[in-house]
Structure 1
Amino acid sequence: MHQARTTCPYCGVGCGVQAEIDDDRIIGVAGDTEHPANFGRLCVKGAALHETLGDHGRLTRPRIDGVEVGWDTALETVAERLHATRRDHGNHAVAAYLSGQLLTEDYYVANKLFKGFLGTPHLDTNSRLCMASAVAAYKRAFGADAVPCNYEDLEEAELVVLVGSNLAWNHPVLYQRIKAAKQVNPLMRVVVIDPRVTDSCEIADLYLGLAPGSDARLFNGLLAWMDDRDKLDRVYLDRHTQGMEEALAAAREDDTSLEAIAADCDVDVERLETFFHWFASRLHVVTLYSQGINQSSSGTDKCNAIINCHLAEGKIGLPGAGPFSITGQPNAMGGREVGGLANQLAAHMDYHTPGAIERVSRFWATETLEPDLPDGPGHKAVELFEAIERGEVQALWIMATNPVVSLPDANRVREALARCPLVIVSECMADTDLLPYADIVLPASGWSEKDGTVTNSERRISRQRGLLPPPGEARHDWWIITQVAREMGFGEAFAYEHPSEIFDEHARLSGFDNQSGSFRLFDVSGLAGLDRAAYDALEPIQWPVTAAAPRGTARLFVDGCFATPNGKAQLIAIRPRQPRQALSDVRPLRLNTGRVRDQWHTMTRTARSPRLMNHRGEPFIELHPDDARSYGMSDRQLARLSGAGGDYIGRVRLSKGQRRGEVFVPMHWTGQFSGAARMGSLLAAYRDPISGQPESKHGAVSLKPLENGWDATLIVANDLKGDAKWCDNARYWARIPLADSQRWQLAGGDATATNDRDWLAWLEVYLPVAPSLWCEDPASGRLRAAGVVDGRLRWWLMVGPPGELPGLAWLDERFREAARGERLDEARHRRLLAGCDDGGADSGPVVCSCHQVGQRCIREAIRGGDGSVEALGARLACGTRCGSCIPELKSLIEEERAHASAEPKPEVTVA
């Protein structure tokens, strides 16, 4: 048994992980106490990483046209078909769509092959969906895609502003750092600006529940308010910036009175003035912003409106100060460093940068190719799939992402891929929504196997180390790309044998001709020349890393010198625009989308840990109770949303933190986990004209109850998962992996006739094992049944509302026993239909995923006198590990207090 250090593969925080390895298995993980991103903290997803591993469900052999082949055949076929596409349709008919899941070394060789040697600019990444607007804004303001801050600034700030970021759920470790900093410094203030009241509000001193899309108006108003009160730092502005007068003039095109700004943003005037005063009166201010800002048809302008306010008062380059875009993916920044966006070349060089094309061509030695590097940018993500639809792109290689789920107008993306003559997919998992559209499938390595580097939100490069061998014939992405390049005749330029060699070339390119005449802020040339041992031992370090800064650079723009031609930052004139997806009589509800606490992206990794599925097991639609009443809906009822490109079915969740007239849905569910819960199908493909980022936060939808006559819960043994015929006639289904079985929530039938199904006959048709136990109540339409073979449980069914379910841990344990070959004893056989031991109780929906503590247990403990988070932790252990559930625990405490105070008090007679 031994331990190894690596980096978490989830969000852009970039936490260090300490893995415990025994006999080629990772048996446990913990936070790396020495890693400066997290100092030992991990969120619940990171703490469950070892639970997501294993060879089951993995791709292990290449496939060509549905037939498994060896690697030699696969590589030859990829090379031949790409060559044929270029010969028949030209270089620009070839494209690639990459992912922030790739390591920097994977990204580098992919970008070099496609742009440098295949001569196509059409290489983009799913980072376009989350970070492109933040990137474009930084480049407009600072001259470079450069986050100026670091995580220590969150602890040194006097004021932290969270805008469009549910940090408590999406970046929990950073949230915990801010929370701890507030405890150390009671004078620190936190402002949360978000249309929804989220768990991040637990640490908020001020909440602004602004109208969706009004962020630019808010920060334009702040800029004008500071000017009116002589709060601007004129010395800093004169020495280090330009464009202030134009920015102010644009801000003043709208009424700048507090009342007008508050009305446009739909916030309270006094709260608005408090925020303006706090921002203007403190020098050390960090504004953290994420997808709520970026995912807009005017996202770049919103980011620049925030940056303008920081530049106006010189709140940048200082400890505890700066506009801080927080990244969604583990290596979105690393991908941009090597040119992973369609408008980039490599090493932060753009096509329009003077001399950049010639410089990269000279470094890669592509001058003799015909044609050489592309002379202009390629198609950005949404445009790329539109080009496929038009037939302009004939071959697409997709790596480590799932665009048929994550892109807007997702059904149209599916149709485009179905018509594309050549689709190559590099993927870890055997079941994704994308694989049916692939002509060639290449099995790739995943986390714990991949070996390379990633860059987190604070520009910190860390090693993600390969700890285990890939299963079967799965290979690293950099190796696959390199081998294809060799098959296509580019072997000399792709002679890599180890990722350290790729990193070395990347580092050398970052410093190549990087003198004052062609200054590029991104430069890691100080890391060039590392041998394999030094590369493997590389400690986390923030770029730039140069001869002048060999230990990295913690904070940028300290001297007020920016990466623009004249060294000055640019304030941008911002004119706020409304979302493109307008509301109408047909679609009257504003749609917001986002993540949930225990899931990440499309669930290919997190769903492999059953405990991460317990917090929010089904797709849902969150809306305000008043809206639910007006639509005639109740909590946990099934409902249908209809949007620009299709429908979404989920279970209603009532929340007073949701603004009226608006709904929230999660982004995670795919066709592998539900029949109609792909968020992307609700969205039109509008995008920011500068960044190309889609408007994923501002859909327009209608809402209706799902007309169904029955609900059912079916739990089956894991080996029956692939024979899911029971979904065929269901109007709604969702699959929820348990530890040792698969839970299926089903709904269907005619709402006017609840007893029109012969369930015993249905069981005979749809399940491979006949029922051996059943109990039916025809009058109510209720039924419970189970299939047992040789004393081993194979399936269990309850027809009735899911609220009547027993706790499923007991049943799941019976499936575990069956998988081990153990037979049910008489007592447990007798209790099967009840689904629990005599006297057993359901603990309710899981609140604390770390310790699997349910809501019902927590409420009972509160009613029993445990009226604080600390008391609940002492009794139930909830909230004592990662802390992600603490805001929900506090909400439950408040609900129980409110309930207790509302109960009538007994009359007291005084003699």
Structure 2
Amino acid sequence: MRNIPVQDLSASVSSSRVHTTCPYCGVGCGVTLSRQRNQDMPIGDEDHPANFGRMCVKGSALHETIGVNGRLLHPEVDGKQTDWNSALDRVAQRLQETIEKYGPDAVAFYVSGQLLTEDYYVANKLMKGYIGSANIDTNSRLCMSTAVAAHKRVFGADAVPTSYEDLESADLIILYGSNMAWTHPVVYQRIAAAKAARPELKIVVIDPRRTSTAELADLHLPIKPGTDIELIDGLLAYLINEGHEDSAYLKKHAEDYESVCQQIIERSSNLSDIAETCDISLENLKRFYQWFANTEKTVSVFSQGINQSSRGVDQASLILYSHLLTGRIGQEGSGPFSITGQPNAMGGREVGGLANQLAAHMNIESEAHKEIVQTFWGSPTICQSPGAKAIDMFRQIEEGTIKFVWIMATNPVVSLPEAERVKSALSRCPTVVVSDCMAETDTVRLAHIKLPAAGWGEKDGTVTNSERRISRQRSFLDLPAEVKPDWWIICQVAERLGFASDFNFAKPADIFREHARLSAYKNKGDRAFNIGGMIGMSDMDYDQLKPVQWPVIDRDSDGNFVSTKRLFTDGLFYTPSGKAKFHDVVLDTSPRRQGAFPFMLNTGRIRDQWHTMTRTGLSRRLQKHYSEPFVEMHPDDMKALELQSGQLASVSSPQGSCTVRVSEHDGLRKGDVFMPIHWSDSFASAARTDTLVAAICDPISGQPAFKQTPVEIKSVKVRWQAILLFSIRLPLPGNDYWAYRALGDWHMYILAGNARLDIKQMKKQWRKQCDQWAEVDAGDQAMMRLVGSRQGRPTLWMALHEEMPQWNEDWLLDAIKNPETSMRALLLGMPLGARLNKGSAQICTCNQVDEDRITEAISKGCSTVECVGKKTRAGTTCGSCIPEIRKLLTRVNSDEQEEVLC
């Protein structure tokens, strides 16, 4: 494996086209890398069945996030750089010592949907078959474990029955708790294209917020947070009462449905009560139920709004029951569809990445399955019972029961609920090992041993997307410095523990072949996951593997592996009886608003960012959509608290507190607020959203309820606000609030505070970087501009004001590099005589089009998305911003109509 100088990383892209996959959401888009305009520009792979060439804005900016800036490039032990042999020896030594002294359950691995299937496979094999503990869990616990549990208890297997094609052939699509326009943009675009081709296709969006996704909906149900279960329970009662159940299908293919359906009828037949509970109109409730009842080709998509709940498994189960009840499963254009959060959450499930699974979808509580896995591996032991799920794992670390934890490719100090407790637990754990590609994440900072792992573009292996499609993620970059793939790191540790012969993999293809063999081993059709048709595939087969949906048990006449588009077409399930199983559900256990915490907080993603921004945060343009952490509130709630848009506020719960900007959103219900999950301590002073969230979990899946947290909101008063640009990272002046953005070669902070800044002390603090100063000071820090330079070149720019300072970002970044720019213009932060930047939000990231330009185009006569695109180019590249353009069209036209009426 050849190492290359880090400065040559960008030149290592092959001149030929490389077909790989995107590392973000579970859509699993194919990406093609080619050389264009002397840049490594990713484009959508037109032959990949997940996206057919479409790309979202995050995918189209992938080339802006690769490189060595901020990378972890060398192993470190106890704060000191070392070589690989020493680091691996130390990992194995501390692991072995922990096991010998405290037993295998004192050890834990916390892994990630960012790993490739081959990485996942060897990690799970080492922990469950050789260390002998099931204490390996994944951050997929936070997004997909509820869907896993629901599939297993109803279908007998974690098997998603549908394909993306079903969305395009459906006549009714229901989106439960999914802001798909932002979280799975390419699938949303496929739905939008289907809607444009067939306007009769109906779309229902069920979400407390009116999101960008709802702009395409024929019906939006803004239900009260936490009442999904009552809504879906009522749907089932309606279907039964109105005679829409498929009795013949149920009798032949389901069990225990009579008693469960009777209980549903008894508790959920009163439509008025359901409408009142959900806080929606009775008319809209009936319309939804009638559309479902009368539409044979229905697909029910569910995501985090369903999964991230204390009743998630019951909610997801009811969605599955709605399709079993009507016999709408295993058919084209029909079925329940759990859409996955991460790029390889599905692949992790295939190899047993969750603490309550065995490899190849086998059951950890089945003696027969444990024997199958141990016999196949020839391992010295096998875990005997489920391990600690994510929340319990970190509680056991906090309590001192787990004394060694190895965290791979994830950032739990930001992403887990009660995140401050997680941080505290890791700070007290005797051994924390972290494998990551980045050097400065909130979690990496707490590691005793840091192992530099491969990132996207360097990884080589497979991933599985939401529709069970296995795709190759191919490397196109050489590994920089001493960076290594995760599978290699794990196998090296296994070798040092004495298991070399069982982890003697030379390349990812070797691991995949073993994975395929295990899936088919003693599988007589009683296990859904089976890729036995790929056994014995050559290295060339693996290198050239085309996307394929499992189960894969055959090849066609051309030698291609045969995909399985949809499951349960024969009505046979993977339960002991071969029938889908109904279970009763429990209603009314969701958290409610509390007197001291009157608002209900919902958390989620924004369009242009991913997880904790370790990757997307490197792109300047991706950070333009939203530059700071924020809380969205209904305008009436803001008025009641005397809050203004853009003002700082504290958001607090019994678990913690954040300080963020207030943002007005009239698509929220009164009393509900929304915050994104992305900002960490690397990007803001106090914006880790999950410090607010209580560790309340679904009792079956162990998935945390991130969607309903009672909070309090208060105004934060500040004396001044500032924008500070550095050419290198410098220490900040004293302040109460900061938020960071990468600006290419420069670094930007937005600051705010109450204490008067000591300008003389600041200059002294920064004297090594600035030997000359120019400033404008209006007195008492009401307004100040400051430019610092070294050897005649600007290295620092600062604007301070009572309110947020005005400046022209694009002009200033160019002007700083231009020796002809006058100092007066630099101090102003924009060309002399130029219009002040109003801080208009960026809508189209691809083409850098802000809200003002789009609004102006609409006001001048543009009445369609297509017209706005022609005038401004907004929405003409990846299409992710089209829902926001539609919303602006509605708003501007409504405002103008109001003016005419007045």
Q: What are the Cα deviations for residues 471-515 of structure 1, in whole angstroms up to 9, with x where unaligned?
A: 110000000001111111100101100100000000000000001
Given residue 885 of structure 1, which amino acid in structure 2 is its aligned partner?
A: C
SS for the counterpart of 2:267 is: coil
Number of the residue aligned with 2:32:
18
* Structure 1 position 593 matched with structure 2 position 607: no
Given residue 829 of structure 2, which amino acid in structure 1 is its aligned partner?
A: G
Map 1:256-655 onto structure 2 (within 5 A): 256-366=269-379, 369=380, 372-516=381-525, 519-547=526-554, 550-579=561-590, 581-655=591-665
Provide closer, same or farther for how the CA distance between residues 770 and 783 of structure 1 changes in structure 2, counting only shifts above 3 A: farther
Q: Could you tell me how far 1:250 is from its partner in structure 2?
A: 2.8
SS for the counterpart of 1:725 is: coil
CA contact (8 A) 1:588 1:702 kept: yes
Number of the residue aligned with 1:795:
796
Q: Quick one: distance in 2 between partners of 1:10 and 1:211?
A: 30
Q: Quick one: distance in 2 between partners of 1:512 and 1:310?
A: 32
Q: Quick one: distance in 1 between partners of 2:86 and 2:73?
A: 15
Provide closer, same or farther for how the CA distance between residues 801 and 54 of structure 1 changes in structure 2, counting only shifts above 3 A: farther
Number of the residue aligned with 2:3:
none
Given residue 274 of structure 2, which amino acid in structure 1 is its aligned partner?
A: I
CA contact (8 A) 2:241 2:265 kept: no
Number of the residue aligned with 2:692:
682
Q: Quick one: distance in 2 between partners of 1:306 and 1:577?
A: 17
Q: What are the Cα deviations for residues 597-653 of structure 1, in whole angstroms up to 9, with x where unaligned?
A: 000101011011110000011000000000001111010101001113211111000
Provide closer, same or farther for how the CA distance between residues 867 and 770 of structure 1 changes in structure 2, counting only shifts above 3 A: farther
Q: Could you tell me how far 1:4 is from its partner in structure 2?
A: 0.7
Number of the residue aligned with 2:744:
739
Q: Quick one: distance in 2 between partners of 1:357 and 1:83?
A: 24
CA contact (8 A) 1:773 1:785 kept: yes
* Structure 1 position 127 matched with structure 2 position 140: yes
Structure 1 stretches lacking a partner, 5+ long = 751-755, 818-822, 907-911
The normalised TM-score by structure 1 is 0.95
Q: Could you tell me how far 1:249 is from its partner in structure 2?
A: 2.7
SS for the counterpart of 2:328 is: coil
Map 1:136-147 onto structure 2 (within 5 A): 136-147=149-160
Q: Could you tell me how far 1:308 is from its partner in structure 2?
A: 1.0
* Structure 1 position 878 matched with structure 2 position 871: no
CA contact (8 A) 2:230 2:268 kept: no
Report how many residues are paired: 881
Range 787-796 or range 337-346, more displaced: 787-796
Q: What are the Cα deviations for residues 824-845 of structure 1, in whole angstroms up to 9, with x where unaligned?
A: 21x4433112212234443722
Q: Quick one: distance in 2 between partners of 1:174 and 1:503?
A: 28
Number of the residue aligned with 1:753:
none
SS for the counterpart of 1:350 is: coil
SS for the counterpart of 1:418 is: helix
CA contact (8 A) 2:233 2:268 kept: no
Number of the residue aligned with 1:810:
811
Q: Quick one: distance in 2 between partners of 1:488 and 1:26?
A: 44
Number of the residue aligned with 2:47:
34
Q: Could you tell me how far 1:419 is from its partner in structure 2?
A: 1.0
Given residue 416 of structure 1, which amino acid in structure 2 is its aligned partner?
A: A
Q: Could you tell me how far 1:253 is from its partner in structure 2?
A: 4.2
CA contact (8 A) 2:781 2:802 kept: no
Q: Could you tell me how far 1:255 is from its partner in structure 2?
A: 4.6
Q: Could you tell me how far 1:772 is from its partner in structure 2?
A: 2.2
SS for the counterpart of 1:613 is: coil
SS for the counterpart of 1:602 is: coil
**Aligned with residue 227 of structure 1, among 240, 260, 263:** 240
SS for the counterpart of 2:567 is: coil
Q: Quick one: distance in 2 between partners of 1:526 and 1:20?
A: 32
Q: Could you tell me how far 1:163 is from its partner in structure 2?
A: 0.6
Given residue 23 of structure 2, which amino acid in structure 1 is its aligned partner?
A: P
* Structure 1 position 95 matched with structure 2 position 105: no
CA contact (8 A) 1:640 1:706 kept: yes
Number of the residue aligned with 1:836:
830
Q: Quick one: distance in 2 between partners of 1:766 and 1:904?
A: 56
Q: What are the Cα deviations for residues 699-736 of structure 1, in whole angstroms up to 9, with x where unaligned?
A: 1111001122111111111x2x1x2232xx32111001
Structure 2 stretches lacking a partner, 5+ long = 1-14
* Structure 1 position 661 matched with structure 2 position 671: yes
Range 480-489 or range 842-851, more displaced: 842-851
CA contact (8 A) 1:246 1:572 kept: no
CA contact (8 A) 1:127 1:332 kept: yes
Q: Quick one: distance in 2 between partners of 1:902 and 1:829?
A: 46
The normalised TM-score by structure 2 is 0.95
Given residue 644 of structure 2, which amino acid in structure 1 is its aligned partner?
A: S
Q: Could you tell me how far 1:777 is from its partner in structure 2?
A: 1.9
SS for the counterpart of 2:621 is: helix
Q: Quick one: distance in 1 between partners of 2:432 and 2:35?
A: 37
Map 1:89-238 onto structure 2 (within 5 A): 89-238=102-251
Amino-acid identity (%) = 47
Q: What are the Cα deviations for residues 844-868 of structure 1, in whole angstroms up to 9, with x where unaligned?
A: 2211000011122222222233333
Provide closer, same or farther for how the CA distance between residues 363 and 255 of structure 1 changes in structure 2, counting only shifts above 3 A: closer
Superposed CA RMSD in Å reads: 1.7
Q: Quick one: distance in 2 between partners of 1:784 and 1:111?
A: 56
Number of the residue aligned with 1:849:
845
**Aligned with residue 863 of structure 1, among 859, 862, 866:** 859
SS for the counterpart of 1:252 is: helix
CA contact (8 A) 1:713 1:802 kept: no
Given residue 854 of structure 1, which amino acid in structure 2 is its aligned partner?
A: D
Given residue 351 of structure 1, which amino acid in structure 2 is its aligned partner?
A: I
CA contact (8 A) 1:296 1:688 kept: yes
